Amino acid sequence: MNTALSTASRRPILELPSELISQIAAGEVVERPASVVRELLDNALDAGARQITIRLLAGGVRLIAVEDDGAGILREQLPMALKRHATSKISSLSDLESVGTMGFRGEALAAINSIADCAISSRATGQSSAYLLDGRSGELKPVARSQGTTVEVKELFFSTPARRKFLKTDATELAHCVEAVRRQALARPDVGFCVWAEGKLIEQWRCCEGPQALQQRLTDVLGSEFMERSVLLNYRRESEPGSGAASVAVWGQVGTPEAARARADQQFFYVNGRFVRDKVLSHAARSAFEDVLHGQRQPVYALYLEIDPRRVDVNVHPTKIEVRFRDSREVHQAVRHAIEDALAAPRLGQVAAALVSEVETPQIAESGSSNYARQSGMTFAPAHGHRVSDLGLLWNASPAAPESSEETASSWPLGRALAQLQGVYILAENAQGLIVVDMHAAHERIVYERLKAQLGSHGGSARLSMQQLLIPATFAATETEVATAEAHAETLQALGLEITVFSAKTLAVRAIPSALAKGDATGMARAVLTELSEREASTVLQRAHDELLATMACHGAVRANRRLSLEEMNTLLRQMEATDRADQCNHGRPTWRQISLRELDALFLRGR
Ligand SMILES: Nc1ncnc2c1ncn2[C@@H]1O[C@H](COP(=O)(O)OP(=O)(O)OP(=O)(O)O)[C@@H](O)[C@H]1O
Ligand SMILES: [Mg+2]
């Protein structure tokens, strides 16, 4: 028998000393100096601060001081602030269920005080004097200061050396502290933040007012590059149609696919003003990018979700970084749609529009840069109301409207086709200069969007319309391919493919989707069969559908080396202008680039 266990089982049950309880709580709440910074900032914001100053020494290990100009704490209340389970923020279960403050557990200061040397000085609103409380001795003495509170935390983890050992270098801890401030600063543009390290001012974000406050703060904190490569997002979902009351609202900035990064270090999600890391939210964002982002690239965004506090539980994690939504489906859908909508709007309009600004603001318009469109509030509308027919493939579509007067051609964002280069690129002229289009990539996107639209966005019972082949295309098939064709006949039909067994080792493609009528029938059939064989028939859901459609689009899209007439090229350009997400192919690569006259002049050393 295990002696340790038998001894332990004979020990009496005792209540833990208060200090130890706080230290245990601190183990959950305070992982590193940045956690203290976050807690103190939460408190300052809850106190209504407009200006917050953070001072750090040795990455926060030697000192973290957070000073605010908030409501302050009354003298007689100061000792309570350091008590466990003492809070001014909630007093009942119903308060907890609809909590609107950052803090509510009433344990942060007690926990921090149990593992560091703490002091709080404060002057409450309307009081003529200020007091300082020493967290160790409990001594209270008058001090001079203006309204607000300063909490000083020194020698973090001095009493828990095991914990201190886990800390990284000062520089790393400092970086985490600054990141903690950045997260809060992005949530509160109306509050000014200053960060000092080793006596030097290292970050300063002034408080921003007015309708552009958030945009200004995002620019200050994340840089103008983030803003230039992101689009505005503003989405409301009404709880009941017509009620006007939003059950979920999402706004912020979401980066274009080209702004994606190797690391997920610019993904900021806020729920009712609180920075969170949530699987539902990040999955929703990820899936909104599925169509336009390839490989392991990480999207960038700063997104703010507002939801009735009763519909989200914030009391699920000691550091409040996780939340639980009552209806996570609703939230997932809202976030996904919000991002999809924002990304879908073609950004081609900016090319034409940038013309106007070219003189004052030299900038190279580039696929994915939304700068002009954003500044001007301009959205793209197909030139002259010219709509490309939704049916028919490039070459059997009606030719582009022959309204190619100089004026009209220069107002088309993607310009007028000039030539085809090496069977791969289309060269076109717009008023800004030269446009180069990767014709396969661009056409692939157009076909894909068309297939998705036909099938209905949620993989419902809709079917792709079929076109029978005059002469069935037969090909030598593997046993797996034959078996898959038989087993998935239904799904194939829905995808507009009719593939029958011709002989034990031969399959015949009898019909293909009419939208892909000129595509490579056997190549498409084989690719779809391969994908289907890797899935359960019953799990060919939305995601699988999209992948299958992308595969089909790839086989149905115009191949390199296919000669196009100028008319066909122009048709493709006009289709791109009218297609959602046309700036990227299905794999996230750009479909077109602008080379401005300015750049061409520079190439030829033509001075201006
Ligand atoms: N900067 C501040 N200004 C004014 N009051 C403060 C400040 N910091 C703390 N307090 C007061 O001290 C109390 C205790 O703070 P503490 O952070 O320990 O708990 P809390 O914020 O209520 O909850 P949580 O543990 O979730 O943070 C607060 O409820 C608040 O009344
Ligand atoms: Mg708190």
Residue range 40-95, pLDDT digits in tens: 999 999 999 999 999 999 999 999 999 999 999 999 999 999 999 999 999 999 99
Tell me what pLDDT residue 280 has: 93
Range in 94-98, 359-363, 593-597 the model is least confident about: 359-363
Which numbered atom of ligand 1 lies nearest the CA of 44? Answer: 1
**Tokens representing 286?**
């990820």
Query: Averaged over 168-176, what is the pLDDT?
Result: 94
Neighbour-count burial of 82, counting CB atoms closer than 10 A to its CB (0-12 exposed, 13-18 middle, 19+ buried): buried
Mean pLDDT score across all residues of the chain:
84
pLDDT in tens, 338-371: 999 888 876 654 443 443 333 333 333 333 332 2
- Ligand 2 centre from 79 Cα, in Å? 15
CA of 105 to the centre of ligand 1 (A): 9
Question: Which ligand sits closest to the CA of 45?
Answer: 1
How many angstroms separate the alpha carbon of residue 317 from the centre of ligand 1?
Answer: 18
Measured from the CA of 112, which atom of ligand 1 is nearest? 18
Question: Ligand 1 atom 8: the closest Cα is on which residue?
Answer: 43
| Ligand 1, atom 31: closest residue by C-alpha | 88
Please, what are the domains in the chain?
Answer: 18-205 (3.30.565.10), 223-344 (3.30.230.10), 349-443+562-603 (3.30.1540.20), 460-540 (3.30.1370.100)
Atom of ligand 1 nearest to the CA of 101: 21
- In this structure, the residue with its CA closest to atom 19 of ligand 1 is 106
* Length of the chain (residues): 608
Neighbours of 414 (CB within 10 A): 28
Task: Using alpha carbons, select from 46, 47, 96, 106 the residue that is nearest to residue 309.
Answer: 96
User: Is 352 or 510 the better-scoring residue by pLDDT?
Assistant: 510
State the burial class of residue 4 (Cβ atoms within 10 Å of its Cβ: 0-12, 13-18, 19+).
Answer: exposed
Task: Return the minimum-mean-pLDDT range out of 162-176, 392-406, 508-522.
Answer: 392-406
Question: Quick one: pLDDT at residue 425?
Answer: 94
Please determine, for residue 372, whether its predicted confidence score (pLDDT) is greater than 60: no
Distance 249 CA to ligand 2 centre (A): 26
- Give, as residue ranges, everything with CB less than 5 Å from ion ligand 2: 42-43, 103, 108
| Ligand 1 pocket test, candidate residues 39, 41, 46, 145, most atoms within 8 A of CB | 46
How many whole angstroms from 315 Cα to the centroid of ligand 1? 16
| Residue 389 to residue 591: CA distance in whole angstroms | 21
Global pTM? 0.72
Pocket of ligand 1 (CB under 6 A): 39, 42-44, 47, 68, 70-73, 81, 87-89, 103-110, 149
Q: What is the spatial distance between Cα 29 and Cα 32, in angstroms, rounded to a whole number?
A: 9
Q: Which of 85, 87, 133 best tests ligand 1's pocket when mutated (most atoms within 8 Å of CB)?
A: 87
**Ligand 2 mean position, distance from CA 175 (Å):** 22
Ligand 1, residues 43, 125, 147: which to mutate, most atoms within 8 A of Cβ?
43
Q: pLDDT-derived band of residue 125, with 50, 70 and 90 as boundaries?
A: very high
Nearest CA to ligand 1 atom 9: 43
Nearest protein Cα to ligand 1, atom 6:
43
The closest-lying atom of ligand 1 relative to the alpha carbon of residue 86 is 14
* C-alpha closest to that of 367 among 266, 259, 215: 259
Residue 408: pLDDT band (50, 70, 90) is low
Assess contact for 303 and 285: CB atoms under 8 A.
Answer: yes
**Closest ligand, as measured to the CA of 108:** 1
Picking from 305, 293, 298, the residue whose alpha carbon sits closest to that of residue 269 is 305
Q: Please tell me the distance between residue 319's alpha carbon and the centre of ligand 2 in angstroms.
A: 10
**CB 412 within 8 Å of CB 575:** no
CA dihedral 182, 188, 193, 195 (to 10 degrees): -20
Amino acid (one-letter) located at 505: K
Neighbour tally for 254: CB within 10 Å: 23
Residue 249: φ, ψ to 5°? -125, 140
Residue 138: what pLDDT? 95
What confidence tier does 379 reach under pLDDT thresholds 50, 70, 90?
very low
Going by CA atoms, what residue is nearest to atom 11 of ligand 1? 81
Residue 371 buriedness (CB in 10 A; 0-12 / 13-18 / 19+) = buried
